[in-house]
Amino acid sequence: MNNVLTRRHFLKASALTSGGLMLEITLSGAALGEALGTLVGSKELNAWVQISSSGEITIYSSVPEMGQGIKTALPMIIAEEMGASWDDVTVLTADVDSARYGLQGAGGSTSIPRNFDSMRTMGASAREMLIGAASEALEVDRAELEAKDSQVIHLSGERLSFGALAALAVRQPVPDPATLSFKDPKAYTIIGTAVGGVDNLGIVLGQSKFGIDVDVPNMRYAAYARCPRLGGTAISFNEQAIRALPGVLDAFILAPDARTGQSSMSFLDGLAALQGGVAIVGEDTWSVLNAKSQLLVVWDESEASTDSWPEMKIEAQRLAGMSGGEVKRDHPVEAALAEPNNKVLEAFYEFPYVAHVCMEPMNCTVHYTAGTTSTAARMEVWVPSQFPGTG
- Residue from 56, 144, 213, 300 in contact with other proteins (CB under 8 A): 213
Site for other proteins in 329-368 (CB under 8 A): 357-361
**Among 313, 78, 55, 89, residue whose Cα is nearest residue 167:** 55
> Mask of contacts with other proteins, 215-234, x by CB under 8 A?
x-----x-------------
DSSP string over 181-242: ----GGG-SSTTS----TTHHHHHTT-PPPGGG---TT--EEEEEE-SSTT-EEEEE-HHHH
In angstroms, rounded to a whole number, what is the distance separating the alpha carbons of residues 358 and 216?
A: 23
Q: Looking at the DSSP assignment, which residues form a beta bridge with residue 237?
A: 297
Q: Which amino acid is at 65?
A: E
**In whole angstroms, what separates CA 265 from the centre of its chain?**
24
Which stretch in 86-94, 208-216, 257-265, 306-314 sits in contact with other proteins by CB under 8 A?
208-216
Task: Give the x/- contact pattern for other proteins in 29-48, rule: CB under 8 A.
Answer: --------------------
Q: Provide the minimum distance between the beta carbon of 286 and other proteins in the complex, in angstroms, as a whole number.
A: 4
**C-alpha distances out from residue 116 to 41, 77, 129, 250, Å:** 29, 7, 20, 49
- 194 belongs to the binding site for other proteins (CB under 8 A): yes
According to the binding rule CB under 8 A, does residue 196 interact with other proteins?
yes
- Nearer CB in complex with other proteins: 106/166: 106
Q: Does 68 bind other proteins (CB under 8 A)?
A: yes
CB atoms closer than 10 angstroms to residue 269: 12
Which strand (E) or helix (H) includes residue 92? Answer: strand 89-93
Stretch that binds other proteins, among 15-23, 106-114, 167-175, 200-208 (CB under 8 A): 200-208
Applying CB under 8 A, among 108, 206, 324, 325 the residue interacting with other proteins is 206
Interaction mask 275-294, other proteins, x per CB under 8 A: ---------xxx--x-----
Beta strand pairing call for 145-148 and 89-93: unpaired
Binding site for other proteins (CB under 8 A): 65-69, 194, 196-197, 199-210, 212-213, 215, 221, 246-247, 284-286, 289, 357-361
